[in-house]
Amino acid sequence: MMRTRPLKVALLGCGVVGSEVVRIMTTHAADLAARIGAPVELAGVAVRRPDRVREGIDKDLITTDATALVKRGDLDVVVEVIGGIEPARTLITTAFEHGASVVSANKALLAQDGAALHAAAEEHGRDLYYEAAVAGAIPLIRPLRESLAGDKVNRVLGIVNGTTNFILDKMESTGAGYQEALDEATALGYAEADPTADVEGFDAAAKAAILAGIAFHTRVRLDDVYREGMTEVTAADFASAKEMGCTIKLLAICERAADGESVTARVHPAMIPLSHPLASVREAYNAVFVESEAAGQLMFYGPGAGGAPTASAVLGDLVAVCRNKLAGATGPGESAYTRLPVSPMGEVVTRYHISLDVADKPGVLAQVATVFAEHGVSIDTVRQQGKDGEASLVVVTHRAADAALTGTVEALRKLDTVRGVASIMRVEGE
């Protein structure tokens, strides 16, 4: 049975995502009403530049005073698609205080202050949903939080940044260097003018923090996530990867330690086997592997960004929050009861692919192998190639603590016979 009084929704921000949210709310109003059980009304849109033409939005709805909008008191839901920490954070908490639930796409804010925001939502009996904050349209938060609520997730391994995947895919398929591939990504609109947040891994790290927190029912903040960007990945690294039957992806990896007593979260480029499903994720697509005790290996794949895909995730949350409101209930809030500590990168168990430039003379391999042994790192394969009195030595290790591996590399750098460390890359997904 349909309620006739509409639910009132305010929108904070009306850029690429916000304008798609409005478009869908308008063109699919009847569907949304049928699925929610009540019509949804756009009650206000807070923007920075009110004079910009906004098709399909009544001018009377537009305001520059976001604070006054969220304080109105008659709103059911506030959709926050401004991004960034402030004023988004204050607006969201103000919305909770004044009776509204919140749907947000704000990964940076959730990764930094998720716990406080969840607490504020709970205090006021509101919902805080943010499927759009991680991997755009791909349902991930809801499956982790609800579908896998009876399972034990041990690992989340994903490509969660489309810009960097586009760049790495270009480098692999065309042999281009990083800068050339970045230029193409920029020209095609896949990279922003300042690509730092993407290429240095900040965006992926925020998503890793959110995913790890939900997957392991604990609190993981952005600062807890180890982060390496992908600006130093070279065409030579791709050639090395190819020789190993691998490609290179920027991965977000969240793991439960073998003893179950701690978790880790990290973002860095890594070699993964070409046979791994993540290896074939092309262009700006995202994909996330989830390994859990009972379900086994699951993968979720789709567009990780863009106005319409992100709006799809926002609207899914909007429908859920509206349904909750009509039912007089709230959905699942923060689940952080395990209070598992987040271990530093040094304790993560991984494998290294190390490329060394060494002197081409007898005894070098013995010296190098001794350094690995001294650090307790066992070697899987060594490949030696001579070239003009110099030689290159490619070593792939067995699994070891990251601290032992970095210690090994530091010691190798000090050897007289090691002219340089050409590249270091972790190997994952095996």
Of 300 and 367, which CB lies nearer to its own copies in the complex structure? 300
Binding site for its own copies (CB under 8 A): 20, 24, 28, 31-32, 34-35, 131, 137-139, 142-143, 146-152, 217, 277, 280, 292-303, 306, 308-309, 311-320, 323-324, 327-330, 332, 335, 337-338
How far apart are the C-alpha atoms of 162 and 142, rounded to whole Å?
A: 21
How far apart are the C-alpha atoms of 52 and 179, rounded to whole Å?
A: 34
Nearest distance from residue 90's CB to its own copies, in Å?
27
From 107, 170, 207, 325, active-site residue:
207
Chain-centroid distance of CA 321 in Å reads 23
Of 79 and 222, which CB lies nearer to its own copies in the complex structure? 79
What does the DSSP assignment read for 91-114?
HHHHHHHTT-EEEE--HHHHHHHH
Establish whether 207 is a catalytic residue: yes
CB within 8 Å of 293: residues ≥ 6 apart: 151, 152, 153, 154
Of 182 and 214, which CB lies nearer to its own copies in the complex structure? 214
What does the DSSP assignment read for 28-55?
THHHHHHHHTS-EEEEEEE-S-TTS--T
Of 35 and 72, which CB lies nearer to its own copies in the complex structure? 35
Of 217 and 268, which CB lies nearer to its own copies in the complex structure? 217
Which CA distances in Å does 367 have to 85, 412, 418?
Answer: 51, 9, 10
Rg of the Cα atoms in the chain: 24
Of the candidates 24, 104, 76, 3, which has an alpha carbon nearest to the alpha carbon of residue 308? 24
Backbone angles phi, psi at 380, to 5 degrees: -85, -60
Nearest distance from residue 401's CB to its own copies, in Å?
28
How far apart are the C-alpha atoms of 111 and 123, rounded to whole Å?
A: 20
Nearest distance from residue 305's CB to its own copies, in Å?
11
Residues with active-site annotation: 207
